[in-house]
Amino acid sequence: MNSLRPVVPVGPTNSLEAMWQICVSRTARDYAEALANEAEAKNAEPSKYTKRVEGDHLFILDDVAIIVEDKAVALSALSRGGKKRRIRTDLTGIITKAAEQAGRIRDRIERDGGLRIEGEGWVDLSQIREIHTVAVSLDDLSTVLTATAELVRAGILSVDNIPWTVSLHDLELIAKLITRPAEFLLYLRRRRNPDVTVMFSAPDELDLFLFFLEVGLWVEPDPAQVRAAFPFLPEPSTAEKRRYRSQKPTILASRTDALDQWFYAHRRVGADVGSVPKPAMPPSPVAPLIDELRARNVTGWLSIGATLLSADFRVQHQFARYGDELLGNPSQHGQGRSYTIPVTACVDPTEGWLFVWATRPAAEDPSVAVQRARDYLRAKKQQLGLPRGVVFLYDEPSRALLEVLYDGHIGPLDGAATDVLHSLRPATDLQRTIHPNAKHPPRRIRQKRKR
C-alpha cells in the first residue's frame, strides 16, 4: 500500500479522500528518518543522529500528524481456530511492533520538533500539537479489541502510545461512512483513548465505529485527574464523581444491520440506493461552522472541527448560537464583546483547547480588532496553560464571520500579549467549565467575559 489514498476507492468526493489529498504526505518510498541512539538523544543535535529507521506513511495537516504503519502479519491458523495463547502471541507482535515503530517517529516529532528526511533534509514539524498512530493490517483483526485492552492492562502497551489497529477492509468502509474529515479525527481521538479500549468490547471494529456515530464512544474521565491536568478548574462536584464511578465496561452487540443494507443496496444493479440511508452521525448544530472552516482553509480547520464536534449536542447548540448572541447584544460603550470557553474534558493537558467568540464593533479598525483578538487568545492560553485555541471573530456591522484565528503557540509571549496577560483576571476566578462529552453535558455552561 503506497499511501492511505488507495484504500478509499470512492472518488475525490469522499471527505476522507479529500483530506488525504490536501495533507502533506510521505510514503515508505521517500520517507526514511534519522533517529538517535540513546546516547545521541541526550547529547547530540538532531542533525547528527546516525540511526536510520524507515516509516510507512506520515500525513501532516496543519497541527495534526497521523503516522501509519502497514502490517502484513496474518493471524496464524491456530489463532483463527481460537487458541487464546496463539492469538495473544500474534496480536502482541502486530500491535507492539506497530506501536514501537510509530512511537519512535512520534517521539522525534515531540522532542526535536521535526524529522530529518532522506533526500529532503530537516523538515520542521514544530507546529504539530496532535499525533495519532495507526496500524493497518491486510488481515481481519476482529479480536484485536480485547487483545489491545489486555496489553494495556499488562503494561506491554504504554497508555500514551496505543495505535489504532484496523484491517484494510474496515478502514475502507469507515472511509466511505465518514461525512466530514473532522469525524475521522474525532474517532481517532476516542478510539485511541486507553479508557475506551478497556470500557468497550465489540465483535469487530465496525461495531465500535457505528456506536461512535450513534452516541459518541465517550468515556467520562476521572474528574480528579481532569482537575490535576487543569488546576484552574474548581474541585470536582459530587455529580461528576458519581458519573465517573457509575461507568461499567460495556459489551456492544452487533450493530451492522443498517450498514449491511446500505452496502448491498449499492451493489445491486437497479437498486434504489436513496431509499436505504447511509449510517451517519445525527445532524450537528456546528456542522455549518465546521464546513465554513474547511471552505476557508483556516489553519487548524481539522482539529478545530473535531473539537467542536466532540461536544454534547446541547453544548453544540450553544456553540452555534454564541455568534448571534454577541451580535444581538452589542456593548453600549462601543466595545467588542466576547465569550471565552476552555475545553477541558480530558486528563492530558496537551489536549486542552480555548474557544473564544468575539465581535468587532463598527468604530474599530478591522486590522486592530484582529490583532486584539490574537493577543487576547495567546495571553489567555498562556494563563490557563492550554496549548491550542481559536477565536471566531464576528463583524458587528455586517454580522458576518470576519476571521477565524487559530493559535498553537506554546513559547514565550511578545510584548503586546504580555501586557494583555497582566490585565487578565486571575485564572482562579474561573469556576465553571464545559465538559464537551457525548453523554452528560453540564447543566450550566460557563460564559466568562473577556476581561
Q: Note whether 167 and 3 are within 8 A (CB).
A: no
pLDDT for position 414: 94
Backbone angles phi, psi at 288, to 5 degrees: -60, -40
Q: Which residues contact 10 (CB under 8 A, 6 or more apart)?
A: 17, 175, 176
pLDDT for position 73: 57
Kindly give the interhelix angle for 181-191 and 15-22, rounded to the nearest 10 degrees. Answer: 90
Q: Note whether 135 and 165 are within 8 A (CB).
A: yes
Specify the 3-state DSSP secondary structure of 330.
Answer: coil
* pLDDT, tens only, 245-297: 999 999 888 888 888 888 888 776 555 666 788 899 999 999 999 999 999 99
Q: What is the C-alpha to C-alpha distance for residues 149 and 93, in angstroms, rounded to an integer? A: 15
Q: What is the C-alpha to C-alpha distance for residues 429 and 423, in angstroms, rounded to an integer? A: 14
pLDDT for position 31: 47
Inform me whether the pLDDT recorded for 354 exceeds 70.
yes
Q: What is the C-alpha to C-alpha distance for residues 362 and 392, in angstroms, rounded to an integer? A: 17
* pLDDT, tens only, 10-51: 333 456 666 666 677 666 544 444 454 555 555 556 666 656
pLDDT for position 17: 65
* pLDDT, tens only, 111-158: 889 888 777 788 899 999 999 998 887 766 665 555 666 666 766 667
- C-alpha cell recorded at residue 161: 502510545
Instruction: Report residue 362 CA to chain centroid gap.
Output: 36
Q: Which residues contact 264 (CB under 8 A, 6 or more apart)?
A: none
Backbone angles phi, psi at 299, to 5 degrees: -55, 125
- C-alpha cell recorded at residue 392: 471566531
In the beta sheet, which residues pair with residue 251?
Answer: 201
Q: Which of 100-109, 333-342, 358-367, 422-431 has the lowest mean pLDDT?
A: 422-431
Dihedral angle sign, alpha carbons of residues 171, 175, 176, 182: positive
What is the reported pTM?
0.86
Domain ranges of the chain: 5-179, 287-429
* pLDDT, tens only, 317-351: 999 999 999 999 999 889 999 999 999 999 999 99
